[in-house]
Structure 1
Amino acid sequence: MPQPQGFVHTRRSDGSVVITHRGRAAATLRGGRAARFLQEVEAGDPQLVMARWTGAYKFGNERTAKQHPRHQGGRTGRG
């Protein structure tokens, strides 16, 4: 499994944390969840922690599969 990369987290003045992946917002954490996240980032591999918290660590082909013609919601002509 390739090492996650491209994640960045930003602490906001209201205490929330925004995680971005390659410039796009992936998650916003508030309150206790934000505090737990920050503890994990300081203790472990930040890229891996952010990937896990955003749910982007298991698969890499969802967007590609979602854009496949078979998944566009139209009739396929079969049946």
Structure 2
Amino acid sequence: MARPFGFSYAQQGDGTVVITHRGRSAGTLRGPRASKFLTEVESGDAQLVMARWTGAYKFGNERMARNHPRNR
């Protein structure tokens, strides 16, 4: 599944979730962490959730930028 910011995820048959960024593996979640991730990604902005879970949420201004007048 293509995403505008490059993050995507795939759930495997054993419950493992693999998060990729621009085609490269960015993280693998298993067990309760995978379940928590799937719940969170369904209820919020998937790109921001994946960025935070992979550690690519490094600048802290992503949420503020969403509310900037030019991005509305």
Q: State the TM bucket, normalised to the shorter chain.
A: 0.7 to 0.9
Q: Secondary structure of 1:56's match?
A: coil
Partner in structure 2 of residue 29 of structure 1: 29
Report the aligned-residue RMSD: 1.3
The reply on whether 1:20 has 2:17 as its aligned counterpart is no
Distance apart, 1:52 and its partner CA: 0.1
Q: Secondary structure of 2:5's match?
A: coil
TM-score, length-normalised on structure 2?
0.74
Percent of pairs with identical residues: 71
Inter-partner Cα distance in structure 2 for 1:38 and 1:8: 12
Which segments of 5 or more consecutive residues in structure 2 lack a partner in the other structure? Answer: 60-72
Which segments of 5 or more consecutive residues in structure 1 lack a partner in the other structure? Answer: 60-79
Inter-partner Cα distance in structure 2 for 1:47 and 1:29: 16
Partner in structure 1 of residue 63 of structure 2: none
Q: Which structure has the larger Rg? A: 1
Q: Secondary structure of 1:40's match?
A: helix
Q: Secondary structure of 1:19's match?
A: strand
Q: Secondary structure of 2:56's match?
A: coil
Partner in structure 2 of residue 50 of structure 1: 50
Distance apart, 1:35 and its partner CA: 0.1
Partner in structure 2 of residue 76 of structure 1: none
How many residue pairs get matched?
56
Report the residue type matching 1:57 in the other structure.
Y
